Each structure stands twice: as structure tokens, then as C-alpha cells.
Amino acid sequence: MSQSSDFKYIITDDPFFEGKIADYSKKLKTNVLSLSELLTTDFDSQGKIIKVLFYISRFELENKHKEIHQFLKVHPTIMSNIIVRAPIDYTGYMALSIEEDLFFTNVPDDAPLVFLIKNLINAFTSLQMIVDKFELQKRINVSTNEISKLTKIGISLANEKDFTKLLRDILNSAREISNSDSGSLYLVEKDERGNPRNLRFKISALDLNSDEFILPINKKSIAGYVAFTGKQLNIPNVYELSGKEEYKFNSDFDRMSNYYSKSMLVVPMKDHHDEVVGVIQLINRKKNFQTKLSLEEMKTNSVLEYDKYSEELVMAVAGQAAVAIQNNNLVHDIETLFEGFVTASVSAIESRDPTTSGHSFRVAQYTVGLAESVNSVQVGRFKDVNFNESQIKEIRYASLLHDFGKVGVREKVLVKAKKLEDYEMDLIRWRFQFILKDVEAKLSQKKIDYLKKHGNNGYPQFEKSIQLEYALEKGKLEEMVRVITDSNEPTILEEGNSNFLEEISKMSYHTTDGNQLSLLLPKEFGFLSIRRGSLDFEERREIESHVEHTFQFLSKIPWTRELKMVPSIAHGHHEKLNGSGYPRGLSAVEIPVQAKMMAIADIFDALTDQDRPYKKAVPLDRAFDILKMEVRDQHIDGDLLDLFIESRAYEKIQHKR
């Protein structure tokens, strides 16, 4: 049987058929079998479609139609047509068990030979058209399937945010679409100037936990060659390299992993600038991706060479992978940039008030720790509350920036540690020093007047009375200064001091030159009378306005969908459950749970901060007692406070301190 007649047969019951068509055998290029040989012939098509034409009499057809039907049924790779040796008007085949579309035509025995030959040729042409249609449909189906795979791969890679998982998905996608048994992925690392420096091995299909190592980008290694040249390599058998190649195969991996690398396809991943960002190395193409190859099978024909179509598919995946890696790097760079901006912003704010340095960072850590504790709750109010990774990041940014609005608060108010400024207290002290000196001058004048009038007679006794009067006046003035100094502290103003301050504010002193001097100015008395803290009403309003400034500032930032609540969370950290908080006086149900958590963290850090010179840090137990008082006053959430204390979310920072 010649190559030209492979997979092409005529089955006939005409004993003289081969003699009839002898002159046309080259044109027909077919194998001729008798009908009796039908069931004994091995139709091995090697996976290809066989074209079989039956040229039989109507009598044989009617007698053997069931056998023919069974034959076609068990040979799905056979495409068949039937030419019946019968008159043109014969329709008996319609009552038989063979499908009607298998019948091509009838040819009478007395028909001219040319007529028979033309019908044979036309019948084979018809079969070939059907075969071509099937082959075309098969290619369309395969292409559609591959396009669908590539589309899904592209969508999957574009949506993956976890960089390690992204790299695994890239390698697995390339392996699956090319039916590769194994593979590795390398990424290009650049120096400070942005020039390629080396290749870093990231993952292997055989061992995803392998330690990373570095390859130089040069022509000596296979992966290095591809990264250096930007060209793909398709190697049928890495153990049969001629030795003339610029690159060499390193078999150490095979020996260490009990593996046998044979066919290899190595492609570069290029970005839109046509720069290589990484390399995909695929090993041992097989017929079916799901098949597991043994070590011995890897050395046989079970491993296939990578064909041109596989190269194209893998290059398509590599292109999508490069875009995904670049996008992932870009997102990472943007996040790093924004993280730097946030850190710099917080540092800039806190530099205006060094006494609160680190407050925003600590509040962020406390709040995130409490949020993570909420995630672990299995019972109670918060059992259905769960913050995902993006929401944790949202909470962290809101906490870091919760005091950003202080940039709009005057520095003298922001850093005001006591009720009066230092220069104001100095003026009061100098005023009392002046009064004391004036008292001293008045008493000295009394001595002079006595001496002028009485001489030394009784002067020692008079001098003692003057000294006693001076001591009394000095003691009164010093007591006043003491009360004023004590009242200047931002602690709770004692009632006794408050009453004494009021008395002092009403006092005035007549100087030797005839002027009347108030001991305390109304403004000074107003600040010193503040019951708690160091700020009066207007200054407190100015400080409280920082929350609104924070919200206005944060609202101008185009936050992503995952971080859109940052302004609202920061806006609510001074709200109280009973509606007495600021700036909006929200009720408990209106305050976001993230803001409730931040409120606890904010108060806790203010109580335990050791860096504020105007007050001492309180011990943990005392801080918790104060926070519990805040719960009783319906200012903060008791369940969240219990969780904060029980989970010891504050310990990491406390240990650092």
C-alpha cells in the first residue's frame, strides 16, 4: 500500500473491479478490498480519519446491511459513502438499517466506465470535504478552547493582588496551556539606576517552597540567555545539546530532585516597553496535562517536543503575565508611595507638638490590634463582624490620620501645656515682685519719717514692727503667687484655690507713685479659673475643630473603593455613645464600630503616654479604671473595652516602651 493511498479504501463485491479501474489507479490512489475482507482488515488510522467507499450490489447491500452498520458503529474514525450497483431508480436502501445520508448514488452495471470513475472520484471528494469540515471544526473548537483559557488566565492574573499567588498562577497557567510537566519562574531584578542586574528564581512547579537564588543575566545559562537576549528557546532535548550553543544546561536540579528534564520551552516576559521583566521555563511537554509521568517515562516518547502552537500560546500567557507583574509592581509602588506620604504627614503633624510624638502611630497599632481581636470573636455582639485585609488597612490609615486636622490649629493652642503661657506667668511674678519692692519702699519711707520725727528714741521697737509688717505682706504675696502657680496647672482646680483666685482678682494695690495696680488681670483670672485642663472655651473649640479639619482634608483624597470609609472613621473618633461627643454629636448607632475602637485607643494612649511633660502617665490598672468610668458615662463601648483588655491588644507597644 503506497503512502498516497493511506487511509483511503474501496470495498466492493465486484471480482473484476480492480481490472476495470486499472487505467485509473493513479488518479484514484486508493486501496481496494473485497467485501469479505471487511471484517478481517485492521483499519489502524493512527488517530486520523479513514475514508471508505462501498461499491456493492443491491443484493449484497440488502443481505449485509446489518454487518456494514455494525462495522461503521465500532469504527468511529471511518467516514463512509455507499455507491450501489443498481438501476438509477433503485430506492430499496431506504428500508435498510443504514443511515440514508451514507448513500451517495446508484450506478448500473452497464453504465460507462467513465461514469463509474467520475462517481468514485466525486464520492471521495465528498468524503474529503466532510473530513475537512470535521478537521476545521476541530481546530475551531481547540482554538476557541485555548482563547477561552487565555481570556480566563488574563482575567485571573489581572485580578490577583497577592504577588506570591500571582507568580504561582502565571507558572501554572503556562504549564496547563502547554501541557508541561514542570517549570520555573524567574524575575529580573534591577539596580538603583533601573538597569537589569540579575535573575531571581522565585518558584518551581515541583517545589513551591524552594529557597530563592540568583542567576546572572548572561548567555551562559538557559534562563539567563533568554533574559539577556529577549528571545525564546525551544529545546527538544536538553541532554542532547551539541555543545556549540552559548548556553549550557545545568543538570544539578535533576540530580537533586530525582527528575529528568527533556524538552524545554523558555520564554521571556516582556512589558509594554519591550523590556524583559522575567522568564518562564517550561519542562517536558506531555499529551495530557493531568497525566503524571514517572522518571522512566520522562526518558521516553511520553515527553513531546514543544510545537509552534505551544510556543504561541505560552508567549500569549507570558505577555499577560508581564502586564500583571507590572501592574502588581505599580500598585505596590503606589501603596509604598502613599504609605510614605501618610507617614510623612503624621510626622509633620506631630512635629508641631513634640510632646505627643508617636501618638498617631500608637493609636493605629492599638486600633488595628483591637480590630484583629474582633475578628477572632466567636460569640456575642461582634461574632458576625469581620474585617478583611483591606478593611484593616482602612482602619490603620484612618487611625494614622485621625489628628491630621491639627495642622489647622494655632500652634500656641496646640502645644499649650498650662493655662497661661510662660511669659504671662512671668509677668504675674514680676508684678508681685514689683509690689513687694514697692511695699519695701513704703516701709523704708516709714522708717525715714520716724527717724526724722523721733530720732533714735524707740526706733529699735519701731523697726521690729516694720519688719513684722514686711514679713506679713511678703507672706501674703507669696501665698497668692503659690495659689496662682498651682492653679496654672491643667489638673482639676481645687475649690479653695478657686475662691482665693476670685478674691485675688478683686484686689488692687496702690503704688508709691499713686497708681492703682490690679493683682490679676481679667484675662489672667479667666484662664486660671478653668476647672480642668489648660484650654478655655474658645481654645477648646479650636482644638475640637481639628476633627472637622481632618474630615475635610481626608474627603479631598480620591480613596479607592476599599478605603472609602477612612474619612468617616476618622471623623467619628471623638463622638460619644450618649451623643455628647463632637463634632456632630452622633448617637451610638450612628458611630462606625471602627471609630468606636479608635476612641478607646485614643483615650488609652493619652492616659498611658509617658512623653507628655504636663502630666504623668497613669499605670495600666488606673488607665483601665478611667476607661471603665467612660463606659459608665456612656462615652465609649463597654464590650469593645472588655475585648481590648482581655485580648491585651496594647501589650506589643507597652513591651516596646
> 487611625: which residue's cell?
399
Instruction: Using the predicted structure, report yes or no on whether residue 657 has a pLDDT greater than 60.
Output: no
Confidence of residue 606 (pLDDT cuts 50, 70, 90): confident
- CA-closest candidate to residue 147, choices 309, 383, 366: 309
225/257: higher pLDDT: 225
Q: For 258-272, 332-346, 405-419, 566-580, which range has the lowest pLDDT when averaged over its residues? A: 405-419
CATH number, span 352-408+545-647: 1.10.3210.10
Cell numbers linked to 284: 517536558
What is residue 547's predicted lDDT score, i.e. its pLDDT? Answer: 82
368 to 243, 376, 399, 600: CA distances (angstroms): 59, 13, 9, 12
- CA-closest candidate to residue 101, choices 123, 125, 118, 77: 123
Contacts of 219 (CB under 8 A, 6+ apart): 225, 228, 229, 246, 247
What is residue 55's predicted lDDT score, i.e. its pLDDT? Answer: 94
Instruction: Using the predicted structure, report yes or no on whether residue 579 has a pLDDT greater than 50.
Output: yes
Instruction: Using the predicted structure, report yes or no on whether residue 627 has a pLDDT greater than 90.
Output: yes
DSSP 518: E
Chain-centre distance for alpha carbon 184: 24
Instruction: Walk across the sheet containing 276-285 and list its strands.
Output: 214-216, 196-204, 180-190, 276-285, 264-270, 233-235
CATH number, span 161-332: 3.30.450.40
What angle, rounded to 10 degrees, do the helices at 308-351 and 389-400 form?
30
Do 362 and 195 contact (CB within 8 A), yes or no?
no
pLDDT average, residue stretch 232-247: 92
Confidence of residue 309 (pLDDT cuts 50, 70, 90): confident
pLDDT tens per residue, range 37-61: 887 777 765 667 889 999 999 999 9
pLDDT average, residue stretch 326-348: 83
Instruction: Using the predicted structure, report yes or no on whether residue 646 has a pLDDT greater than 70.
Output: yes
Do 575 and 582 contact (CB within 8 A), yes or no?
yes
* Distance from C-alpha of 83 to C-alpha of 12, rounded to nearest angstrom: 10
Instruction: Using the predicted structure, report yes or no on whether residue 597 has a pLDDT greater than 90.
Output: yes
Instruction: Using the predicted structure, report yes or no on whether residue 418 has a pLDDT greater than 70.
Output: yes
**Preceding amide of 583 cis, omega within 30:** yes
Confidence of residue 213 (pLDDT cuts 50, 70, 90): confident
Pairing of strands 214-216, 50-57: unpaired
What is residue 208's predicted lDDT score, i.e. its pLDDT? Answer: 44
> 529557597: which residue's cell?
211
What is residue 526's predicted lDDT score, i.e. its pLDDT? Answer: 84
Q: For 146-160, 206-220, 231-245, which range has the lowest pLDDT when averaged over its residues? A: 146-160
Instruction: Using the predicted structure, report yes or no on whether residue 570 has a pLDDT greater than 50.
Output: yes
pLDDT tens per residue, range 630-642: 999 999 999 999 9
pLDDT average, residue stretch 478-500: 81
- CA-closest candidate to residue 247, choices 256, 238, 255: 238
pLDDT average, residue stretch 163-176: 83
* Distance from C-alpha of 104 to C-alpha of 83, rounded to nearest angstrom: 6
Do 526 and 539 contact (CB within 8 A), yes or no?
no
Do 236 and 292 contact (CB within 8 A), yes or no?
no
Confidence of residue 225 (pLDDT cuts 50, 70, 90): very high
pLDDT tens per residue, range 2-47: 444 567 899 999 988 988 888 888 888 888 998 888 877 777 656 6
Count other C-beta atoms under 10 Å from residue 205's C-beta. 19
* Distance from C-alpha of 507 to C-alpha of 456, rounded to nearest angstrom: 36
* Distance from C-alpha of 319 to C-alpha of 605, rounded to nearest angstrom: 51
State the CATH class of domain 8-137: alpha beta
- How much of the chain, in percent, has pLDDT values that exceed 70? 88
Q: For 201-205, 236-240, 565-569, which range has the lowest pLDDT when averaged over its residues? A: 201-205
Please state the pTM of the whole predicted model: 0.61
pLDDT average, residue stretch 268-287: 89
Instruction: Using the predicted structure, report yes or no on whether residue 474 has a pLDDT greater than 60.
Output: yes
What is residue 146's predicted lDDT score, i.e. its pLDDT? Answer: 66
Q: Where are the beta strands (DSSP E) in 389-542?
A: 508-510, 516-518
pLDDT tens per residue, range 241-276: 988 999 999 888 888 888 999 999 999 988 878 889
Cell numbers linked to 28: 484514484
pLDDT average, residue stretch 520-532: 84
- Give 524: exposed, middle or buried? Use CB within 10 Å, 0-12, 13-18, 19+: buried
540/95: higher pLDDT: 95
Contacts of 511 (CB under 8 A, 6+ apart): 435, 438, 517
pLDDT average, residue stretch 613-621: 73
* HEC readout, 432-446: HHHHHHHHHHHHHHH
Instruction: Using the predicted structure, report yes or no on whether residue 414 has a pLDDT greater than 80.
Output: no
